[in-house]
Amino acid sequence: MQQQAASSATQQQQQGGQGGSPPPLMKLLELRPSANSTVNTKFIILEKGQPSRVSEGGPMVCVALVADHSAAAHLQLWGNECEAFQPSDIIRLTNGLFSYHKSNMVLRAGKKGSMEKIGDFSMVFVESPNMSRLQWVQDPNSKIWMPIGLGQQPSGALLRSPTGGMYHERFVM
């Protein structure tokens, strides 16, 4: 039911003023911090942390690790979103944000954005780089935020174990 409510909000938003066609999608690797940018993207939820309350009686909040074919990021879920979306869900985020929250970079729907489950299980993805774990600096000329060390493997990435298998170091926020 909660998923349907999230889907309904997204469908109504997409139909209003856009002729029913969704906006063009951005890769997670193209994310740049900004409180007023609009993020339209698609990703799979890999892991989801335990929900907690921001304050007594306040909304539930949780953080999830999400990825697409280009990069990974942390997604902040609020209220009903915490229960509506689960690991392996493929989500379309419309009019979202990639900005600081408590000194961490997170992707989120925000007040104007919405999320919709559009599938599950089957999606090509990578876990590195994690755009939420990068350090960001503002270019003095263009004023655009740029990641530092994008070519390096950030902590929390997919790692090779001594036995040759692959594992993911759990994200901490």
pLDDT digit string, tens, across residues 116-137? 999 887 777 777 777 777 777 7
Number of domains in the chain: 1
Residue 82 resides in a domain: yes
Predicted local distance difference test score (pLDDT) of residue 149: 66
First to last CA, the chain: 29
**Beta-carbon contacts of residue 108 (< 8 Å; ≥ 6 apart):** 75, 76, 77, 78, 96, 97, 99, 101
Statement: residue 46 has pLDDT above 80? yes
The per-residue pLDDT of the chain, averaged, comes to 73
- Taking phi over 0 as left and psi of -120 to 50 as alpha, with beta for the rest, 110 belongs to left
Residue 146 resides in a domain: no
**Beta-carbon contacts of residue 38 (< 8 Å; ≥ 6 apart):** 23, 95, 96, 113
Which residue range is the domain that position 22 belongs to? 2-127
Find, among 37, 28, 48, the residue nearest to 112 by Cα.
37
Q: Which CATH number is 63's domain given?
A: 2.40.50.140
Structural contact between residues 83 and 38, judged by C-beta atoms closer than 8 angstroms: no
Residue 167 resides in a domain: no
Residue 151 resides in a domain: no
Statement: residue 39 has pLDDT above 70? yes
* Residue 147 to residue 138: CA distance in whole angstroms: 9
Predicted local distance difference test score (pLDDT) of residue 86: 92
Residue 143 resides in a domain: no
Lowest mean pLDDT among 19-33, 52-66, 76-90, 137-151: 137-151
Residue 83 resides in a domain: yes
Residue 23 resides in a domain: yes
